[in-house]
């Protein structure tokens, strides 16, 4: 069995297979759409990458299986070391998780399996290790999300059915199904799923993985277009990607008032018609 460090120099045998469900990026993170516009699919991928990278770096994780039909996401997550499984049931989140757990156990009967959402960009391996180590004491166990409404991790010991019931207020359903709620208070990165702009601001404050951090950093640009008739425009990222924005008010060198959760600062070298843009920073969350 592979040995890996679990943070702070501890060494333990990897014992869990993690199953990660991921819907097509074009559909993912719909609750972020108003705030981040065209950036949404890219951020959904960055969240999944940081979640998978964090899980693979955890000492008690033997492997990660991502259940997805998204070709781009599959290729990027396989590059990190995940195994990719097509979402052949095509019957929603819980069916995807059951499919992944069955596939894991078809290859290694009796494996301990844990389901983890693909939207934990601040995931820290030592905190995940503490949660999984706690879960080994119970046949089934789960961790509630930061809001105390949903679930971010559901664990099933060897030969125990995963029986996932994710979606909305899943904390109560998992508890009612007999899974034991893990009560650790110092594992916030494992509870911090990102569904809304407020969730994302909290995750950023916690410290997100390199994929999400790099992605948000790309919002530095030096050019933009703005139509004062429609009060809308686009920030042109350094790679030429246009990120649309709407502006209630526009002052060169000042702060654009934009849709909730989105703002742009235009920095220039002076005033007047000949002003030169020096930096455009788009903060979309």
Ligand X SMILES: C=C(OP(=O)(O)O)C(=O)O
Contacting positions for ligand X (CB under 6 A): 145, 150-151, 166-168, 170, 195
Residue with tokens 């180590």: 133
Consult the annotation and say whether 81 binds a ligand: no
Residue 116 backbone dihedrals phi, psi, to 5 degrees: -135, 135
CA 280, distance to chain mean position in Å, is 26
Task: Kindly state the smallest distance separating residue 29's Cβ from ligand GTP, in Å.
Answer: 5
Consult the annotation and say whether 278 binds a ligand: no
Task: State yes or no: residue 246 binds ligand GTP (CB under 6 A).
Answer: no
Task: Kindly state the smallest distance separating residue 72's Cβ from ligand GTP, in Å.
Answer: 14
Nearer to ligand GTP by C-beta: 187 or 194?
194
Task: Kindly state the smallest distance separating residue 69's Cβ from ligand GTP, in Å.
Answer: 7
Q: Give the chain's end-to-end CA distance (angstroms, integer).
A: 42
- What is the C-alpha to C-alpha distance for residues 273 and 282, in angstroms, rounded to an integer? 23
Task: State yes or no: residue 21 binds ligand GTP (CB under 6 A).
Answer: yes
Nearer to ligand X by C-beta: 150 or 197?
150
Q: Which residues does residue 60 pair with via DSSP β-bridges, in sequence order?
A: none
Residue 30 backbone dihedrals phi, psi, to 5 degrees: -60, -25
- What is the C-alpha to C-alpha distance for residues 282 and 220, in angstroms, rounded to an integer? 6
- What is the C-alpha to C-alpha distance for residues 199 and 192, in angstroms, rounded to an integer? 7
Consult the annotation and say whether 30 binds a ligand: no
- What is the C-alpha to C-alpha distance for residues 17 and 108, in angstroms, rounded to an integer? 10
What count of residues does the chain have?
A: 285
Q: Which residues does residue 83 pair with via DSSP β-bridges, in sequence order?
A: 65
Task: State yes or no: residue 35 binds ligand GTP (CB under 6 A).
Answer: no
Nearer to ligand X by C-beta: 98 or 145?
145
State both tokens at 83: 């195994």
Nearer to ligand GTP by C-beta: 188 or 195?
195
The contact mask relative to ligand GTP for 94-133 (x = CB under 6 A, - = no) is: --x--------------------xxx--------------
Task: Kindly state the smallest distance separating residue 134's Cβ from ligand X, in Å.
Answer: 19
Q: Which residues bind ligand GTP (CB under 6 A)?
A: 21-23, 28-31, 67-68, 87, 92-93, 96, 117-119, 195
Which segments are annotated as binding site for phosphoenolpyruvate? Answer: 151, 167, 170
């Amino acid at each position: 069995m592979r040995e890996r460090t679990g943070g702070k120099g501890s060494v333990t045998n990897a014992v869990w297979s993690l199953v990660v469900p991921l819907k097509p990026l074009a559909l993912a993170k719909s609750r972020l759409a108003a705030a981040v516009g065209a950036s949404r699919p890219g951020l959904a991928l960055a969240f999944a990458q940081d979640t998978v990278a964090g899980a693979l770096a955890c000492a008690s994780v033997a492997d990660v299986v991502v259940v997805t039909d998204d070709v781009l996401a599959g290729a990027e997550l396989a590059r990190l070391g995940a195994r990719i499984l097509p979402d052949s049931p095509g019957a929603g989140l819980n069916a995807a998780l059951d499919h992944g757990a069955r596939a894991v156990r078809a290859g290694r009967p009796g494996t301990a399996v844990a389901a983890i959402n693909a939207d934990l960009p601040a995931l820290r391996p030592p905190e995940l290790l503490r949660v999984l180590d706690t879960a080994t004491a119970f046949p089934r166990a789960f961790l509630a999300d930061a809001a105390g409404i949903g679930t971010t991790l559901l664990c099933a010991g060897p030969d125990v059915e995963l029986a996932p019931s994710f979606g909305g207020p899943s904390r109560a359903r998992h508890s009612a199904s007999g899974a034991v709620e893990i009560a650790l208070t110092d594992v916030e990165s494992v509870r911090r799923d990102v569904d809304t702009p407020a969730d994302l601001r909290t995750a950023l404050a916690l410290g997100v993985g390199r994929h999400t951090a790099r992605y948000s950093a790309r919002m530095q640009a030096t050019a933009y277009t703005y139509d004062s008739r429609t009060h809308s425009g686009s920030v042109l990222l350094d790679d030429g990607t246009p990120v649309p924005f709407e502006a209630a008010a526009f002052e060169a060198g000042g702060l654009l008032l934009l849709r909730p959760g989105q703002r742009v600062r235009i920095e220039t070298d002076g005033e007047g018609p000949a002003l030169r843009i020096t930096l455009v920073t788009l903060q979309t969350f």
